[in-house]
Structures are given as C-alpha cells and as structure tokens.
Amino acid sequence: MLELDPFAVFRTALFVALTLYYAITMGVMCFPGVRLLLGHDPRTRLVRAYLSYQLLTVRVRPLASELFQILVWTAVLFLLYGMHLWQ
C-alpha cells in the first residue's frame, strides 16, 4: 500500500492554497481598475494614454538588479518545491 507522507500533503495543500489566494486577490484588486479604464469618457482616455505611455517607456536597466533578484528567488522557491517532490 502506498504510504502518504503528511508533510508532502501539507506542502502541496499550502502551495495550492497560496496560489489560489494569490490569483483571487490579484483578480479582485485588478478588476475595479480595469473596469474604470474601459470607459469612453475623455478623462478615462487620457488616463489610458498616460498609462500606456508609462508602460511602453519603462526603463529596465535601473530595475535589472531587482528583477534578477526576483527571478533568482522564484527559481529557488521552485527548486525547493521540486526537491521535495522528487525525494
């Protein structure tokens, strides 16, 4: 019979719960902003144009070290999770 490791169940349940919490929280937080930006009001169009300009002209060079650090810690997180699954 297959033995079930309680830590593996806890780890997987925690991972799934936090992923769902993150997805739901981001959806709830982004929905009002997206709904606000969908209007045809001239002020809304101006805000959309401003945000588009800001997104298109973002300079990655000053943020490179922070983005690299985020990438490294994300890789470490998935590596640790994968090591627990592969044991």
Q: pLDDT tens for residues 44-75?
A: 899 999 998 998 888 878 888 899 999 999 99
Cβ–Cβ under 8 Å, residues 37 and 51: yes
Residues 23-31, mean pLDDT to the nearest whole number: 93
pLDDT value at residue 1: 60
Provide the pLDDT confidence category of residue 76 given band limits of 50, 70 and 90. Answer: very high
Cβ–Cβ under 8 Å, residues 81 and 11: yes
pTM score, whole prediction: 0.50
Angstrom distance (rounded) from CA 6 to CA 55? 45
Q: Quickly tell me which residue has 């805000």 as its tokens.
A: 47
